[in-house]
A and B are shown apart, each in its own frame.
Chain A
């Protein structure tokens, strides 16, 4: 994946920098996720696997609040200004130029200070001087001004207050480029420092400028990104090198650090962005229109048939009356066609092949739309369920838990399993949701993979449904005012058990998707066992289509090895009789 390589490159470039922060790190240790809020994050409960080191066992990122960012900036500035013995303003200019990469700055500065000064515009002395002048001519408006109205950067080029203000305002409103502002004289590269900008800019512009300054710290570095949640001002620093990008901000928003969409493990970023694009794409509307409407034969506007009878009347101004079936004018549908509501020309025309092309297109669009709708509905309803579960968890933590604890005379710490169940539900809904995007893009011809996937997904989904039901419905009994009928003592192990079982189902699902469902390709022996499991999984899981192909491949996989008159397709693993030379399933050559 391209982005991975970029990130790794970035890591190489930035790694040395850590040395300089070794002192500062302790200040932000409090925010290193992995401490307290570990428990709020259902994700970790889900994957905290005992021995599998490829799964996340510790967090590899740090959430930075605005105050942390400012503090880190402050540290870098003081550090640079003391090590290089330059002013703080100069240190800021240098750091902005070097994208806050302190080590690179040091290296280049000590290698060739003059060169760095030249590129950055930190002149050691003025290039023009007017020692005895009482008045100077502004280089922009060419008016003479008394000295107190003339300002200049280190270079000494004189401009009046008004012109400076205009110059600075324009540059701040042009965007973050204002952090690298230079003297207006084109031949002069002297930098205009923060001190001058803060002295001359309006309050509003000053605020913008400081915002750009803070932003530059996060946006210029490759290992920090803003939390994308609306209104959240935190940033996340990611230890590059890890390939698990799910992070959770202090604001509780979970997102993928790599693509900044919401967390979508185990589905990769490419699939997610394709899916999101597809969901928003106008093309789906077009497909719908194509599948469910016909153009008016006269004015060509698409018409949806929303009533039973075939006698259509287009909306004004067209008002054309026609037959839905044959799209012919209704005036033709007299006695000749055997009564107004029994058009037989449709079938006749179809037999002659007249309507075939349009009809076929409509049919195809309808099928592809149905397939998409299947995945989209499940994706969307898991999303809704997850939102509901988040609200339920909140309700549980803030209201019900205390009530329950009073009622059952149990300390709240003994009821933690309820919270854990809800956290598990939320995380599982998220994973499940994204597996539907994964399923949509899983190639049709990879039957074995598809079956394994649908089997694992089906198992996981069934487990989750049991867990969700138990947490949602069965718990209600204990929350009511009546004396509970059921025994809480039996409820506890049931819910905790379901949580555990569901977790392990999802771990299997995540692991399988993350290694690209490779079990079916690389280990035929393994595929046999999975396929045989598959046969009972399919009963629970998907619709008729899945079931049909399941049994077929299950049978073939079972034959694999003990029958010599078959060969297995390299691509889809389908077992073909020796008499054919290309796969009967995917047409791959033997």
Chain B
């Protein structure tokens, strides 16, 4: 199988498309010009959310058998969110049996997903956190129990992210 070259071709094509016609809400590029498998993505905090106005960096790492397996996404900016750190959303989970049993197969990874659809999913995750399977338990607890506290910490992250620019 020419899977590795299929992955390169597909990633190259997506990169070209995103440069030519950028999508609102994020910008994407390579971490290292010579490595198509590691992308640096900057997500702009979506309007009408706690994250509005923030600039959050994340690294997307693609496996050699992309698009048959999902990439991993990790936030490098500080972002106070129940699902921060290594981003844990259902479409980034490999298909097949869900070990925890609460995600439908249709919500999970499928080769039709692109950088664009993944980032859009992450943006929607920012506005509606999934506190049922949190990566950051502390943030999830705060989000659920003391929303004001949570709001303050997010604002601090947003401000810091703007200062970093």
- Residues of A that sit less than 8 Å from B by CB: 139-143, 162-163, 165-167, 169-171, 174-175, 177, 182, 184-187, 189
Contacts and interface: CB of A to CB of B under 8 A. Distances in A.
B68 interface: yes
Given A140-B112, A184-B110, A184-B112, A166 B105 contact: no
B69 interface: yes
Contacts of A175: 96
Contacts of B69: 170
Contacts of A177: 95-97
B67 interface: yes
Contacts of A189: 106
Summarize A's interface: helix, strand, loop or mixed.
loop
9 contacts: A140-B10, A141-B13, A163-B67, A163-B111, A166-B67, A166-B68, A170-B65, A184-B112, A186-B106
Interface string B105-121: 11110111100000000
Nearest to A178: B96
B68 A167 contact: yes
Contact of B111 (A143, A166, A174, A187): A166
Nearest to B90: A186
B9 A174 contact: no
A187 B110 CA distance: 10
Contacts of B107: 186
B95 A169 contact: no
A186 B67 contact: no
Given A140-B112, A165-B1, 8 more contacts: A140-B111, A141-B9, A141-B13, A166-B6, A170-B68, A177-B96, A182-B106, A186-B108
Contacts of B60: none
Given A167-B68, A169-B1, A170-B65, A142 B110 contact: no
Given A140-B67, A163-B111, A167-B68, A182 B105 contact: yes
Given A141-B6, A185-B112, A166 B1 contact: yes
A174 B108 CA distance: 14
Interface string B39-76: 00000000000000000000000000101110000000
B106 A187 contact: yes
Contacts of A186: 91, 106-108, 110, 112-113
B14 to A, nearest CB: 8
B94 interface: yes
A182 B3 CA distance: 21
A64 B35 CA distance: 54
Which of A167, A170, A186 has the largest count of B CB atoms less than 10 A from its CB? A186
Interface of B: 1-3, 6, 9-10, 13, 65, 67-69, 91, 94-97, 105-108, 110-113
Contacts of A142: 10, 13
Which of A139, A165, A170, A187 has the largest count of B CB atoms less than 10 A from its CB? A170
A167 B91 CA distance: 16
A141 B107 CA distance: 20
Nearest to B97: A177
Contacts of B6: 141, 162-163, 166
Contacts of B112: 139-140, 184-186
Contacts of B68: 166-167, 169-170
A187 B96 CA distance: 16
A200 B112 CA distance: 18
Contacts of A187: 106
Nearest to A181: B95
Contacts of A166: 1, 3, 6, 65, 67-68, 111
Contacts of B113: 186
A141 B13 CA distance: 9
A186 B3 CA distance: 21
A169 B94 CA distance: 14
B111 to A, nearest CB: 5
Nearest to A166: B68
B69 to A, nearest CB: 7
A17 to B, nearest CB: 25
Contact of B95 (A140, A162, A165, A174): A174
Contacts of A171: 95-96
A139 B67 CA distance: 11
Contacts of B106: 182, 186-187, 189
A186 B108 CA distance: 8
A387 B3 CA distance: 51
Nearest to B96: A177
A162 to B, nearest CB: 6
A174 B96 contact: yes
Contacts of A165: 1
A171 B108 CA distance: 13
Which of A141, A143, A189 has the largest count of B CB atoms less than 10 A from its CB? A141
Contacts of B108: 186
Which of B10, B68, B105 has the largest count of A CB atoms less than 10 A from its CB? B68
A141 B11 CA distance: 9
A141 B10 contact: yes
B36 to A, nearest CB: 14
Contacts of A163: 6, 67, 111
Which of B9, B10, B96, B97 has the largest count of A CB atoms less than 10 A from its CB? B96
A187 B67 CA distance: 17
B1 A174 contact: no
A166 B111 CA distance: 9
Contacts of B111: 140, 163, 166-167, 184
A259 B110 CA distance: 38
B67 to A, nearest CB: 6
Nearest to B13: A142
A541 B110 CA distance: 68
